[in-house]
Amino acid sequence: MLQALFDYRLELMLWVLGSVLIYGLGINIWQRLRRTPSSRLTRYVTALDSWHHGLWLSQALRFLYYLCIPYLALSRGATSPILMGMWGTDWFQPQWASELALGLALGVGTLALLVWSWRHFLLVVHETDQVTPYAFQRRILAAPWGWGLIVLEVLYLEMHWAFYRGAAIRAFGDYYGVFGGFLLVLAEWGLNPQFRRDLSTARRDGEAMTTVVTAFCIGVVYYFTANLWLCMAVHLIIQFGLVTFLAASVGLADQEREHN
């Protein structure tokens, strides 16, 4: 009985560790190829970076990693929809409305904190440096149907985080599992050389820390609600609210520079 329980918990954790390993190997090999001079593979990588369909190739790879791995784990019974927060037996009970209100309040509070932090950052640096935080997200948001890519990115991250969080919850229980899952995500990001480099520059450090704060907020929302779809809605509120604010702020800063 004890051995069966151990195997049951270990199987999901092995899935997660395998996912972390795939991410770590893939991102480090890719980054190394991009920095290696005068090699045939480097030329292929450079060609892929400049390919006009490169965005769709990137999305296909992200789809395979962020959605297909959790799906395979679900189909093999290693995890479950309840463990990932996709369904709950106590949903739509009398306390459901209060949980919904709490989750939305946490999301709006996090958005307000991030807006306040970015506002002060932009006020400090705009006199000496022309910063363009979240340039890609702001560019695609301005494009027709570009908001769909932001929604897709949030879906990727939320399913990925829920997969890791579920493994930690199964191993350590609800409280320690929620924050253990957050630490797993941080450890995975730490394997990314670009993420580590981002922490050494002001603009990119702001983006990296924004993602960390958002992941922590989502973990808190999940702890109180155990609802992946509410976590996704909160994440969308934060993402769209912050990108919209930054687009307006950077636009005003550019106009001010032109007048000066």
pLDDT for residue 127: 53
The answer for residues whose C-beta is within 8 angstroms of residue 27's C-beta and 6 or more apart is 191, 192, 193, 194
SS3 240: helix
Closest by alpha carbon to 16, among 63, 72, 81, 58?
72
Question: Maximum CA pair distance of the chain?
Answer: 74
pLDDT for residue 251: 57
| Sign of the dihedral through C-alpha 232, 233, 239, 240 | positive
pLDDT for residue 195: 85
Residue 26 CA to residue 164 CA, distance in Å, equals: 18
Tell me the whole-structure pTM to 2 decimals: 0.85
Residue with tokens 């934060």: 238
Residues of the chain with pLDDT under 70: 1-8, 34-54, 125-132, 135-136, 141, 200-205, 250-260
Q: At what angle do helices 135-142 and 228-259 cross, to 10 degrees?
A: 90
